[in-house]
């Protein structure tokens, strides 16, 4: 019990951050018209590719001789970046269509 | 320096997502978020790391390749395949998290002097969720793309099997930690997690895939956040949690649009219930000829078009717009009634019609449409089925019962464009087709609309 207590105290800031981010995420999305569900899903998906930051940090702190880690992390970075870049580009393409139409109309 | 950059990027990600929830600012929001992401990537590349070896070529080459690949894919993809594409991208994100957690676990294991239990547990959870997101998304893709085998993966007692798998994953994780990281356990763990992803999605009907993808998307977000804990990176943590929370809310919103609970979707409501619905009753259907259809539309005052997935697969949105213009030149009022879950994903129809340059103000939502049908001469249903099924209102035995639908039959007459009499996605027959004031116009949506358009121009 005291271990859990200690853990909570040690990571106080982290836990606050978690709490507020969850609330923020709920709040930000809570009133979206269904029109935007598809682009939003695609946009949020692109953001979830932020996991590639981990790959970058991992590659940078790995010994240059450690090919096992380097290769795996590079593949992770490659695959994850497709998610990030593809996701943002395609979301942009979808949303541009909404915009184009608004200028005409 | 890098800390400030991370702060800016975190702000841009949150603000960008916020702007994306309003149609007027959505495009700007996506740009903010992508700039935020770019800043985050740059900061991760330049931030000072203790004992850094940099290895920049291992970083820059994959990024350049994937960025150009992502750009090309995003440019080439058909708007109709958007749901499939989001699921593939999400699967890639999941796989990336799996590889990363796996590599990181191996790194911790080779570090013999200490055995970091907390980190290993976090990484194992990330590994599991990432695997589920990966294989689950791939199966969701297969279902959306209509591969027949993907609907037949369900085993008997699927839910019991899934629970067993889940418990064995927890048990193996304990074994793995207890045996101070015997990698054999790790490989079995990954295999079972991947299998679980397949079985998790298998019993869920194809029509519910958007909900599943949104849920799996929030899973990927959670793995990103967990990895952020390991790498002690606040932006990863924040971005991941943000997507996790946003994905969850989006999932719930989609379920609400279909008037179903998330649990009901996950258990596979459509496939397991309601086969005894009364709508097996058949009647006579009436077909309408090309010229009759054209004349009827041409001399109407108000026409409402109800587009569905059939329109999307046939790529007929531009023809639809053409017909709209011909009718409007004859002072026929034309509107599009968009059901929240029409197509394969909420908002899917809006994107398609936007692609065909249909004016935004012509699209009306469920409630407005339902009060408009009474004053409508012809409601034209193009490749939609379940969203106009009257059973949803008056047949408690129907699996669709309770779903808000478009009451097209309240207009003077309805014409249904459909390839055949086969049932819709929910697998139930639609009594609308047998109603007195309904006529059928068979054929692929593109051919049908082409025929209609030619007739109209001859008038």
pLDDT in tens, B129-182: 999 999 999 999 998 887 778 777 777 777 888 889 999 999 998 888 887 767
* pLDDT for position A100: 59
Q: A68 to chain B: which residues are within 8 Å by CB?
A: 103, 106
Q: Measure the CA–CA gap between A95 and B126, rounded to whole angstroms.
A: 32
* pLDDT for position B358: 86
| Opening angle at CA B101, ends B96 and B104, nearest 5 | 125
Tell me the average pLDDT of chain A: 84
Tell me the average pLDDT of chain B: 85
pLDDT confidence bin for B90, thresholds 50/70/90: very high
3.40.50.1220, 3.30.365.10, 3.40.50.150, 3.40.50.1370: CATH of B278-458? 3.40.50.1220
Q: What is the mean pLDDT of residues B80-101?
A: 91
pLDDT for B97 beyond 90: yes
Q: B241 to chain A: which residues are within 8 Å by CB?
A: 18, 21-22, 25
Please name the residue of chain A whose CA is at the shortest distance from the CA of residue B105: A69
Could A95 and B21 be called an inter-chain contact, meaning their C-beta atoms sit closer than 8 Å?
no
Could A62 and B13 be called an inter-chain contact, meaning their C-beta atoms sit closer than 8 Å?
no
Q: Is B364 helix (H, G, I), strand (E, B) or coil?
A: strand
* pLDDT for position B280: 47
DSSP secondary structure letter of residue B345 = S
Residue of A52 and B49 predicted with greater confidence? A52
pLDDT for B275 beyond 60: no
Q: How far is CA B30 from CA A101, B15, B21, B241, in A?
A: 18, 10, 10, 18
How deeply is B3 buried, as exposed, middle or buried, from its count of CB atoms within 10 A (0-12, 13-18, 19+)? exposed
* pLDDT for position B5: 92
- Looking at the complex, report in whole angstroms how far the Cα of residue B3 sits from the nearest Cα belonging to chain A: 14
- Looking at the complex, report in whole angstroms how far the Cα of residue B291 sits from the nearest Cα belonging to chain A: 32
Packing angle between helix B445-458 and helix B290-298, nearest 10 degrees?
Answer: 60
Please name the residue of chain A whose CA is at the shortest distance from the CA of residue B364: A35
- Cβ atoms of B409 and B381 closer than 8 Å: no
Q: DSSP letters along B164-228, please?
A: HHHHHHHHHHHHHHHTT--HHHHHHHHHHHHHHHHHHHTTS-GGGHHHHHHHHHHHHHHHHHHHH
Three-state SS for B418-447 is ECCCCCCCCCCCCHHHHCCCEEEEECCHHH
- Looking at the complex, report in whole angstroms how far the Cα of residue A4 sits from the nearest Cα belonging to chain B: 12
Asked about B372 being catalytic, the answer comes back as no
- Cβ atoms of B207 and B386 closer than 8 Å: yes
Could B59 and A68 be called an inter-chain contact, meaning their C-beta atoms sit closer than 8 Å?
no
Domain coordinates in residue numbering, chain A: 1-31, 33-104
Q: What are phi and psi of B154, to 5 degrees?
A: -70, 130
Q: Buried (b) or exposed (e) across B255-267, using 16+ Cβ within 10 A?
A: bebbebeeebbbe
Q: What are phi and psi of B335, to 5 degrees?
A: -135, 160
Nearest to B245 among A25, A83, A101 (CB): A25
Segment among B33-47, B344-358, B403-417 with least mean pLDDT: B344-358
Residue A21 forms beta bridges with which residues?
none
User: H helices of B279-418, where?
Assistant: 290-298, 309-314, 317-329, 348-355, 366-372, 391-394
Sign of the dihedral defined by the CA atoms of residues B286, B289, B294, B299, in that order:
negative
Domain with CATH 3.40.50.1220 in chain B: 278-458
Q: Measure the CA–CA gap between B255 and B262, rounded to whole angstroms.
A: 6
> β-strands B333-337, B378-382: how paired?
unpaired
Q: Is A50 helix (H, G, I), strand (E, B) or coil?
A: helix
Nearest to A51 among B53, B66, B223 (CB): B223
User: How many helices (H) and strands (E) in chain B?
Assistant: 18, 6
DSSP secondary structure letter of residue B77 = S
- Looking at the complex, report in whole angstroms how far the Cα of residue B31 sits from the nearest Cα belonging to chain A: 7
Nearest to B55 among A60, A93, A102 (CB): A60
Catalytic residue (one of B372, B386, B391, B395): B386
Residue of B181 and B123 predicted with greater confidence? B123
Q: Residues B338-389: pLDDT tens digits?
A: 887 777 677 778 888 888 888 878 888 888 888 999 999 999 999 888 888 8
Q: What is the mean pLDDT of residues B430-448?
A: 86
Q: Which residues between 31 and 60 in chain A have a beta carbon less than 8 angstroms from any beta carbon of chain B?
A: 31-60
Q: B229 to chain A: which residues are within 8 Å by CB?
A: 14
Q: What are phi and psi of A54, to 5 degrees?
A: -60, -45
Q: Which of B7, B69, B84, B350 to mutate to test the interface with A (most CBs of A within 10 A)?
A: B350
- Looking at the complex, report in whole angstroms how far the Cα of residue A1 sits from the nearest Cα belonging to chain B: 16
Q: B253 to chain A: which residues are within 8 Å by CB?
A: 29, 32, 34, 37
Q: Residues A83-105: pLDDT tens digits?
A: 999 999 999 988 887 765 554 44
> β-strands B302-307, B378-382: how paired?
parallel
Q: A24 to chain B: which residues are within 8 Å by CB?
A: 14, 242, 245
């Amino acid at each position: 019990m005291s271990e859990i207590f200690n853990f909570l105290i040690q990571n106080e800031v982290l836990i606050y951050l978690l709490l507020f981010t969850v609330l923020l995420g709920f709040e930000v999305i809570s009133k979206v018209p269904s029109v935007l569900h598809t682009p939003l899903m695609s946009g949020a998906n692109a953001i979830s590719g932020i996991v590639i930051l981990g790959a970058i940090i991992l590659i940078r702190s790995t010994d240059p001789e450690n090919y096992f880690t380097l290769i795996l992390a590079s593949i992770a970075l490659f695959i994850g970046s497709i998610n990030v870049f593809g996701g943002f580009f395609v979301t942009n393409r979808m949303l541009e269509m909404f915009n184009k139409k608004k200028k005409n109309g | 320096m890098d800390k400030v950059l991370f702060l800016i990027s975190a702000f841009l990600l949150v603000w960008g997502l916020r702007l994306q929830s309003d149609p007027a600012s959505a495009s700007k929001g996506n740009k903010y978020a992508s700039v935020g992401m770019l800043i985050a990537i740059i900061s991760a590349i330049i931030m000072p790391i203790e004992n850094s070896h940099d290895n920049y070529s291992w970083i820059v080459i994959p990024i350049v390749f994937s960025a150009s690949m992502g750009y090309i894919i995003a440019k080439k993809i058909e708007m109709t395949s958007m749901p499939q594409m989001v699921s593939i991208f999400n699967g890639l994100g999941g796989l990336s998290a799996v590889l990363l957690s796996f590599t990181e676990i191996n790194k911790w294991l080779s570090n013999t002097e200490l055995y970091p239990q907390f980190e290993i547990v976090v990484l194992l959870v990330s590994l599991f969720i990432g695997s589920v997101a990966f294989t689950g998304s791939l199966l969701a893709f297969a279902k959306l793309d209509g591969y027949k085998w993907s609907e037949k993966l369900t085993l008997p007692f699927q839910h019991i099997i899934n629970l067993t798998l889940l418990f064995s994953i927890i048990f193996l994780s304990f074994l793995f930690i207890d045996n101070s990281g015997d990698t054999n356990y790790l490989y079995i763990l990954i295999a079972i997690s991947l299998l679980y992803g397949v079985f998790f999605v298998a019993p869920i009907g194809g029509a519910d895939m958007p909900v599943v993808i949104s849920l799996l998307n929030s899973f990927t977000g959670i793995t990103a956040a967990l990895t952020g804990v390991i790498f002690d990176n606040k932006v990863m943590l924040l971005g991941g949690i943000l997507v996790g929370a946003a994905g969850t809310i989006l999932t719930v919103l989609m379920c609400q649009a279909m008037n179903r609970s998330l649990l009901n979707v996950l258990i596979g409501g459509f496939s397991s219930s309601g086969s005894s619905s009364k709508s097996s009753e058949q009647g006579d259907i009436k077909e309408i000829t090309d010229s009759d259809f054209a004349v009827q539309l041409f001399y109407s005052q108000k026409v409402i078009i109800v587009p569905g997935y059939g329109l999307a697969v046939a790529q007929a949105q531009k023809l639809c717009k053409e017909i709209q213009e011909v009718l409007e030149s004859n002072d026929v009022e034309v509107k599009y009634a968009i059901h929240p879950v029409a197509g394969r994903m909420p908002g899917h129809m809006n994107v398609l019609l936007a692609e065909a340059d249909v004016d935004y103000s012509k699209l009306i939502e469920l409630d407005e449409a339902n009060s408009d049908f009474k004053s409508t001469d012809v409601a034209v249903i193009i490749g939609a089925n379940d969203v106009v099924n009257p059973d949803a209102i008056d047949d408690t035995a129907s699996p669709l019962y309770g779903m808000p639908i478009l009451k097209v039959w309240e207009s003077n007459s309805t014409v249904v464009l459909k390839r055949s009499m086969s049932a819709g996605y929910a697998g139930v027959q639609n009594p609308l087709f047998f109603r007195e004031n309904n006529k059928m116009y068979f054929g692929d949506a593109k051919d049908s609309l082409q025929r209609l358009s030619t007739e109209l121009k001859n008038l």
